[in-house]
Amino acid sequence: MGNHGSNLDDILAEDMHHWYNKFMRESPSGLITLFELKQILGLKGMNENANSYVDQVFFTFDMDGDGYIDFVEYIAAVSLMLKGEINQKLKWYFKLFDQDGNGKIDKEELETIFSAIQDITRNRDIDPEEIVSLIFERIDVKGEGEMTLEEFIEGAKDHDDIMEMLKNLMDLTPVLIIIVEGRQ
């Protein structure tokens, strides 16, 4: 992972008390709302796809569905993104991609998420349609146009190039660095 990994290692090395202080500095109430998350990350003037993606990330991290991210959810999310097992990360990606909550992801859902990520990161190296076509070509072996959680996990794990693409696309390191260090 090179320099990239050392940044994450530094973030992980911080003790829980330090994380708690940062969390409370950003949100003195002990709870982060969706609006506050967007403010913390400095996300203003986003297009509809990018806005929808941030909403989906928030609701995925809001594990109890109460409309807030509390400290436990915050630490769980950061920990998952930084050091979670691959199956845990793939489950989280799937939940994020499954925008309508029907237990399956289709091409449109994936394209929407990948476009939104690119709108936020300004990284447009690969066309979202190409990414989605490749993923479905390799993973959706039945050609149904949608994938279940099991198909997604097994398919992604069977294809190193897709795993690498997902890791690069879903890298939240810049977001975590903003949370940890604050906007300068």
Give the model confidence (pLDDT) of 49-81 as tens digits.
Answer: 777 778 888 888 888 889 998 888 887 777 776
Residue 142 has what DSSP assignment? T
- For the chain, helix, strand, coil in percent to 5 are 70, 5, 25
CA distance 122 to 117: 8
Distances (CA, A) of 31 to 20, 43, 66, 98, 139: 12, 19, 10, 25, 38
Look at residue 5 in the predicted model and tell me its pLDDT.
45
Tell me the domain boundaries of the chain.
Answer: 7-181
Select 7-181's CATH number: 1.20.58.100, 1.10.3720.10, 3.40.50.261, 1.10.238.10: 1.10.238.10
pLDDT for 103 equals: 93
CA atoms within 13 A on the CB side of 147: 27
State the first-to-last Cα distance of the chain, in angstroms, to the nearest integer: 26
Predicted pLDDT of residue 107: 92
Q: What is the DSSP letter of 104?
A: E
Kindly give the confidence (pLDDT) of every residue in the chain, 184 residues in length, as a single tens digit, with 9 standing for 90 and above.
334 444 555 555 555 667 777 778 878 888 989 888 877 766 666 677 777 778 888 888 888 889 998 888 887 777 776 677 788 888 888 888 888 889 999 999 888 888 877 776 666 777 888 888 988 999 998 889 999 999 999 998 899 988 888 877 776 666 555 555 554 4
What DSSP assignment string belongs to 13-71?
HS-HHHHHHHHHHH-TTSEE-HHHHHHHTT--S--HHHHHHHHHHHHHH-TT-SS-EEH
